[in-house]
Structure 1
Amino acid sequence: MTHKILVVDDEQSILLAIRTLLELEGFEVEVAADGQSGLALYRSFRPDLILVDVMMPKLNGYDMVRQIRADSNSLDTRIVYLTAKGMEDNRREGYATGGDDYIVKPYAMEELLETVHGNLPPRAGEK
């Protein structure tokens, strides 16, 4: 079974690059350009993993994650922040809101892939 990943970021170039990378890895990917759209897609798409920026219009990443984590069904969904907000206070807030991992921009695509794979259980037939 293919893992489903939701990517939420207001930078179109980042959405396109991450979507392309993850689709080439065999993931089913949906993207959203703001937190409000990301929250709606979370509810309909039910991803296994969410990659989310912090600074976005309409609803920031922290508030989006808080709302997702208020849903008891979200506990199986892993959430990774991808953000330029790299101060220790930002990381603490990310984890306090329910994030499982935190990557600071700019990051290497290899680091992103390693984090994605590390936050998902192996697919059937994989070790």
Structure 2
Amino acid sequence: MNFQTNTFTILIVDDTPSNLSVVVDLLEESGYNVAIAQDGEEGLQRAQLLQPDLILLDVMLPGADGFEICRRLKAAEETRDIPVIFMTALVATERKVNGFDVGGVDYITKPLQIDEIIARVGTHLKLRAAQKRLEEQNAQLQNCREQLERRVAACTAELKASNQQLRMEISEHKRTGQQLLMMDFALNRMREAAYLIDRQLQFIYVNDEACRALGYSREELLKMTMYDIDPDATHEEMTATRDQDGLVVIERRHKTKEGAVFSVEIHITSFEYEGVALTLSLARDISERKRMQS
């Protein structure tokens, strides 16, 4: 932290002129702004008026002593956060504890030592500056939090309005998913190999029988096209068949992963689903029928 002493004001409350002279000269030479009060009541008034960054408070004052003055400083909202360092010749532990109990942050013992005064004052001013920065950051954080809460509140109505629509869409997706599972269940119990292909003749669905008949795994087939399993296929022939309306029945030859070729009868239906052109093919092995016919 860049610590500039001339930005801090220190209030000294002491009824001994010699003490005041020494401490004032020392602090002013160090660059601090210094104000003085020679009794407790004056100290209270000057603290309220000046709002110093730190108070050096003598314990032995005429009238109300330093402990009472500190207690009153801490009771007032305007001065409660100003750090108070006691100056005293009293060294008894009980007296020091009294000072901390009423809100003091430190002690400087008399006779006053220059190095000790500078060190303790500097330390507590740095702590006070850090505390103020933390308070400012907390205030900024609170402001950001309030802004965020307002945004959240503004969005909540819109979210609630769209929530019902989202639930309806989720419900529809669930029904669609259940229907797809049902279709997959049904197709996997057919004797025919079932292929669902797109306009590029790429497999996008195959049933268990297709995998068994061709000897490929489902993952392998979904990376392939009809050209990979039909050794006689030409582009013109395949696209012409794909583009016909209604049910089309053709005979073709399919090739397994091991290279074996067998005859199939394929029932082909083309349709469009959500703007995507698809073709469903149901292929049955007719090798035995071909042998009997020959």
Query: Structure 1 length normalisation: TM-score?
Result: 0.91
Whole-Å Cα distance in 1 between the matches of residues 63 and 7 of structure 2?
Answer: 30
Whole-Å Cα distance in 1 between the matches of residues 90 and 41 of structure 2?
Answer: 20
Whole-Å Cα distance in 2 between the matches of residues 15 and 76 of structure 1?
Answer: 24
Whole-Å Cα distance in 1 between the matches of residues 40 and 81 of structure 2?
Answer: 20
- Match of residue 36 from structure 1: 41
Deviation digits for residues 19-62 of structure 1, max 9, x if unmatched? Answer: 11111111111011111111111111111100011111122100
Deviation digits for residues 53-107 of structure 1, max 9, x if unmatched? Answer: 1111122100100000001233431110011111001100000010000122123
Name the SS for the 2:104 alignment partner. coil
1:11 aligns with 2:16: yes
Larger Rg: 2
Q: How does 1:1-127 map to 2 (within 5 A)?
A: 2-121=7-126
Select the structure with the greater relative contact order (CA < 8 A; seq sep ≥ 6): 1
Whole-Å Cα distance in 1 between the matches of residues 8 and 50 of structure 2?
Answer: 11
Whole-Å Cα distance in 1 between the matches of residues 38 and 112 of structure 2?
Answer: 19
Q: Is the 1:48–1:76 contact (alpha carbons within 8 Å) kept by the matching residues of 2?
A: no
In structure 2, stretches of 5+ residues that fail to align are 1-5, 130-294
In structure 1, stretches of 5+ residues that fail to align are none
Name the SS for the 1:107 alignment partner. coil
- Match of residue 201 from structure 2: none
Larger helix share, 1 or 2: 2
* Count of aligned residue pairs for this structure pair: 123
Q: Is the 1:10–1:57 contact (alpha carbons within 8 Å) kept by the matching residues of 2?
A: yes
User: Which is further off, 70-79 or 50-59?
Assistant: 70-79
- Identity score, percent: 36
Letter in 2 for 1:109: I
Query: Structure 2 length normalisation: TM-score?
Result: 0.40
Deviation at 1:16, TM superposition (A): 1.1
